[in-house]
């Protein structure tokens, strides 16, 4: 439970800008529930100033409506200006009986307050005799969130908060759900209830994220609801409406005004993205269905023989003995063979990642289960018995991350496992948590008994309001408990699953990272999680789950990647070539071209489907080599962009609307994207296409391969796109650091640096380069500023003491003709200058990046 803490901000005129307007308002819109009973809302009384804002009592404004539960008569409104750009508005039941997310699960930044006159947001209270108190969050004179005319509904199992939206609003975020990036403001119901589902379009899947941002008149703002309950968030009728199955109305508002500002402000609250090891930016390969360690060895060798970079070999649940966690199949994946494979990978600068599931097989002779029983770390039924579901190994129990001994038990099991095989990263799957049956289907079964091949659907007890809540969120399953742990299952803190279901994946990811960190103090850890929540980016990366080998899923993968940039989880990607079903040569070629630019790039498919490693078809292999050569050459640039994520939350992959918010045509563009702010990727997303309509915002853009200039005019241009080619362009006015692409990230890092200077129409450009060891948490670093104007390039160390081991050896100049030579700090140096049209390549340089340099073009 959080409490307000005194700050150091004196509010002028005793909260003079909080207006209590005693007006009569006509109800605007409605409840969104058709003929549902009308609710009175609440009236604000006893307004009291606090150090950072104010507090008010809220009382029912009339007879309770008890729409989907019991109206709570007395609430408390807390308002706090956490920072100059973040406003916290919390409506809670005065007796504090409603569940709230514990600080131990998701610690939030409390902010520093704001100096007088620096506040970008403020709150007005309005009042209507019909609908009660209204909340207006104002940025200047603009209401970015306004509940006026819509009654607040606050019941024991239902909260409803409704805010007006402008016509045809531009809304981004809210999920996780495969959908187009810009949400349909007239017809979107986003359900948040973590679910094991094979990426059905516009349905809830693995994660829950309530944060959204809105673009109005070229400026962004955002909001986040801090609540772990199941809910619907509905965009319709000119409103955004939260329909929540419990908890409190704990809202945070972000002033922006840019998209990157909103993400900065949000991740400051819930946690900055975790530092990743440099190797995570390479290409990864996996499939479910490898039959032996020898088969994985052959796959690794085949990538090398095909000349396709491979950074990490992953193995799915195939390596386990009977699909039990922390075991190895003694015949197909014996520990000795796996260790030899790991040693060979490391000798070549490559890595290994293995999967871990949370569900533990009920088997007394299985050490992981026996030790967990002894330490009492499993979720229970209401009668105190173990809750037993069904996952891959059969009947299983589920770790209770709230249990006092959960950390010791999970740490012990992971430690034993890593002692056998010290893999480089862990991949957590099935952590919604997923179960193949409904309810505790294994209760009463004899140890070792196998589950039935199928279970009959049940009729849940409708009198139990936690099994069947009065308001039914739009979860497509027969009931909330379908395919997961039952909502009435009990955790060690006495809280039932109903309240904490959406937190399971976050809690497992956090504990797994902590265990790995304790094992390797100071080293960066790589954890990939399927299920996520607000703040997951601070502890894990993400892939978008069980997509399908279809052209629509290829397109939707861009929007999903961009969604997770909004959610504060920038290290994200979709299974390249699709997980479910049989890919085709053409689809896999196009997907390899797109996937080469996902922040997290992994090939992965299901057992029984056609193999789709990128060397399987000559055309796919060539497409992959070409696209991955661009990715690996760009690694210094991408790593620099990712450091912006670590420091400010900024996503590495960005929609065009983030950089060009005043250009209406890009508001719904999820067919292209930017890496950082300089690299535009325009993939082919349609079967049979050999060209692509690429939108170019106003300005100059240079073709990555030919260096030809494209003059953007806020219009689409048809570009040739042969099967083995993906269009990539460099934005004029940017300087892009690069290195020669190798077969691994380590080989690439061991090459000299290059700067691609893409001059704008004024002959100017700028960029940055971030350097560190890519492995440790406390590595020294170095930020370099890069500026070009008047035919002079300045390389200026800005902070840090990391020693760059490789020199700047090459300059590629775009839009800078007539170069004959180079002088460094006033002295001409030997180099090779080759001109081709408007581009110039200068090689043979040996410029030390550890000291300031002035490079003049002669």
Q: Are 309 and 334 in contact (CB under 8 A)?
A: no
Query: CB count, 10 Å around CB of 535?
Result: 27
Sequence-ordered list of residues with C-beta below 8 angstroms from that of 827, at least 6 positions apart, any chain: none
| Residues constituting the chain | 858
Sequence-ordered list of residues with C-beta below 8 angstroms from that of 462, at least 6 positions apart, any chain: 468
Residue 841 to residues 754, 822, 846, 849, 858, Cα–Cα distance (Å):
10, 11, 15, 19, 14
Q: Are 39 and 70 in contact (CB under 8 A)?
A: no
Sequence-ordered list of residues with C-beta below 8 angstroms from that of 543, at least 6 positions apart, any chain: 528, 530, 572, 573, 574, 575, 600, 602, 604
Distance in angstroms (rounded) separating the CA atoms of residues 215 and 221: 7
Distance in angstroms (rounded) separating the CA atoms of residues 108 and 2: 10
Q: Where are the beta strands (DSSP E) in 193-348?
A: 209-216, 219-225, 231-236, 239-244, 249-254, 283-285, 312-315
Residue 78 to residues 13, 209, 257, 807, Cα–Cα distance (Å):
19, 23, 24, 55
Strands 20-22 and 122-128: parallel
Q: Are 279 and 774 in contact (CB under 8 A)?
A: yes
User: For residue 173, which of 235, 247, 89 has the smallest C-alpha distance?
Assistant: 235
| Annotated catalytic residue 432 | yes
User: For residue 796, which of 852, 730, 838 has the smallest C-alpha distance?
Assistant: 852
Give the angle 513-516-520 at the CA atoms, nearest 5°.
130
Instruction: Pick the catalytic residue from 261, 413, 424, 546.
Output: 546
Q: List the structure tokens of 63.
A: 């007879």
Instruction: Pick the catalytic residue from 261, 429, 553, 575.
Output: 429
Number of C-alpha atoms within 13 angstroms, CB side, residue 768? 15
SS3 84: coil
User: For residue 503, which of 515, 485, 518, 517 has the smallest C-alpha distance?
Assistant: 485
SS3 679: strand
Helix axis angle for 585-595 and 551-566, nearest 10°, is 20
Q: State which H helix or E strand residue 824 sits in.
A: strand 822-824
Distance in angstroms (rounded) separating the CA atoms of residues 210 and 826: 55
Distance in angstroms (rounded) separating the CA atoms of residues 223 and 134: 17
Distance of CA 140 to the CA centre of its chain: 31
Q: List the structure tokens of 116.
A: 């007088």
Q: State which H helix or E strand residue 648 sits in.
A: helix 635-648
Backbone angles phi, psi at 590, to 5 degrees: -65, -35
| Annotated catalytic residue 294 | no
Q: List the structure tokens of 496.
A: 């039932």
SS3 331: coil
Percent helix, strand and coil across the chain, each rounded to 5? 20, 30, 50
Q: Are 516 and 525 in contact (CB under 8 A)?
A: yes
Distance in angstroms (rounded) separating the CA atoms of residues 190 and 155: 21
| Annotated catalytic residue 109 | no
Distance in angstroms (rounded) separating the CA atoms of residues 756 and 735: 6
User: For residue 557, which of 492, 601, 501 has the smallest C-alpha distance?
Assistant: 601
Instruction: Pick the catalytic residue from 432, 622, 659, 754.
Output: 432
Distance in angstroms (rounded) separating the CA atoms of residues 32 and 210: 19
Distance in angstroms (rounded) separating the CA atoms of residues 64 and 753: 69
Task: Catalogue the active-site residues.
Answer: 429, 432, 546
């Amino acid at each position: 439970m959080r409490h307000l803490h005194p700050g150091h901000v004196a509010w002028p005129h005793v909260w003079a800008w909080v207006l209590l307007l005693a007006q009569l308002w006509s109800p605007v819109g409605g409840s969104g529930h058709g003929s549902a009973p009308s609710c009175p809302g609440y009236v604000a009384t006893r307004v009291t100033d606090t150090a950072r804002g104010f507090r008010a009592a809220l009382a029912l404004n009339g007879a309770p409506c008890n729409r989907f539960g019991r109206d709570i008569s007395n609430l408390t409104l807390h308002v706090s200006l956490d920072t100059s750009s973040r406003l916290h508005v919390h409506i809670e039941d005065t007796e504090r009986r409603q569940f709230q997310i514990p600080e131990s699960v998701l610690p939030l930044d409390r902010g520093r307050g704001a100096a007088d006159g620096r506040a970008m947001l403020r709150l007005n209270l309005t009042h209507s005799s019909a609908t009660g108190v209204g909340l207006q969050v104002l940025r200047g004179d603009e209401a970015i969130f306004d509940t006026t005319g819509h009654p607040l509904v606050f019941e024991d199992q239902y909260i409803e908060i409704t805010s007006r939206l402008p016509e045809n609003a531009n809304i981004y975020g809210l999920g996780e759900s495969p959908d187009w990036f810009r949400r349909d403001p007239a017809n979107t119901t986003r359900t948040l209830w973590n679910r094991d589902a094979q990426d059905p379009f516009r349905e809830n899947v693995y994660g829950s994220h309530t944060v959204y941002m809105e673009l109005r008149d070229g400026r962004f703002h955002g909001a986040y609801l801090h609540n772990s309950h199941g809910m619907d968030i509905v965009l319709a009728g000119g409103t955004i409406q939260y329909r929540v199955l419990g908890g409190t109305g704990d809202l945070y508002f972000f002033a922006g005004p840019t998209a990157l500002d909103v993400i900065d402000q949000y991740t400051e609250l819930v946690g900055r993205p975790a530092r990743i090891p440099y190797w995570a930016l390479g290409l990864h390969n996996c499939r479910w269905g490898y039959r032996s360690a020898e088969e994985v060895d052959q796959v690794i060798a085949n990538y090398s023989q095909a000349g396709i970079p491979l950074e990490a070999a992953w193995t799915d649940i195939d390596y386990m003995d009977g699909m039990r966690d922390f075991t190895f199949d003694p015949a197909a994946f014996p520990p000795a063979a796996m260790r030899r494979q790991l040693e060979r990978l490391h000798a070549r600068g490559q890595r290994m990642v293995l999967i871990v599931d949370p569900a533990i097989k009920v088997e007394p002779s299985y050490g992981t289960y026996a030790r967990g029983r002894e330490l009492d770390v499993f979720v229970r039924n209401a009668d105190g018995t173990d809750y037993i579901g069904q996952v891959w190994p059969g009947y299983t129990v589920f770790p209770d991350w709230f249990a006092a001994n959960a950390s010791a038990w999970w740490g012990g099991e992971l430690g034993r496992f890593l002692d056998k095989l010290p893999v480089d990263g862990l991949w957590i799957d099935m952590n919604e948590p997923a179960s193949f049956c409904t309810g505790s289907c294994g209760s009463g079964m004899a140890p070792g008994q196998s589950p039935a091949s199928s279970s009959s659907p049940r009729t849940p007890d409708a009198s139990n309001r936690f099994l069947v809540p009065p308001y039914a969120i739009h979860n497509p399953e027969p009931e909330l408990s379908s395919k997961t742990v039952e909502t009435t299952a009990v955790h060690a803190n006495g809280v039932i699953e109903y309240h904490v279901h959406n937190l399971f994946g976050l809690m497992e990811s956090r504990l797994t990272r902590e265990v790995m960190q304790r094992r390797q103090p100071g080293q960066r850890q790589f954890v990939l999680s399927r299920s996520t929540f607000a703040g997951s980016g601070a502890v894990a990366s993400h892939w978008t789950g069980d997509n399908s080998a279809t052209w629509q899923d290829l397109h939707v993968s861009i929007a999903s990647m961009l969604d997770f940039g909004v959610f504060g989880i920038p290290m994200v990607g979709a299974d390249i070539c699709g997980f479910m079903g049989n890919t085709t040569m053409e689809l896999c070629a196009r997907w390899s071209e797109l996937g080469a630019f996902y922040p997290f790039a992994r090939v992965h498919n299901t057992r029984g489907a056609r193999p789709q490693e990128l060397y399987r078809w000559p055309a796919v292999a060539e497409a992959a080599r070409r696209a991955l050569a661009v990715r690996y050459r760009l690694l210094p640039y991408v790593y620099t962009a990712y450091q912006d994520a670590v420091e400010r939350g900024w996503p590495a992959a960005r929609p065009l609307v983030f950089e060009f918010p005043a250009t209406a045509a890009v508001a719904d563009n999820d067919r292209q994207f930017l890496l950082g702010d300089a690299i535009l990727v325009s993939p082919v997303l349609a079967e049979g296409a050999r060209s692509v309509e690429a939108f170019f915002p106003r300005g100059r853009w240079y073709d990555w391969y030919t260096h030809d200039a494209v003059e953007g005019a806020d219009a689409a241009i048809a570009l040739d796109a042969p099967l083995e080619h993906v269009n990539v362009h460099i934005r004029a006015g940017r300087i892009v650091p690069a290195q020669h692409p190798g077969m691994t990230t380590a080989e690439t890092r061991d090459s000299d640096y290059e700067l691609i200077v893409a001059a704008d129409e004024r002959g100017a450009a700028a960029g940055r380069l971030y350097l560190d060891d890519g492995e440790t948490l406390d590595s020294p670093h170095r930020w370099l500023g890069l500026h070009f104007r008047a035919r002079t390039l300045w390389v200026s160390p800005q902070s840090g003491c990391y020693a760059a081991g490789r020199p700047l050896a090459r300059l590629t100049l775009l839009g800078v003709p007539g170069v004959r030579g180079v002088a460094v700090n006033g002295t001409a140096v030997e180099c090779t200058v080759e001109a081709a049209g408007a581009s110039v390549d200068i090689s043979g340089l040996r410029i030390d990046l550890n000291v300031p340099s002035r490079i003049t073009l002669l």
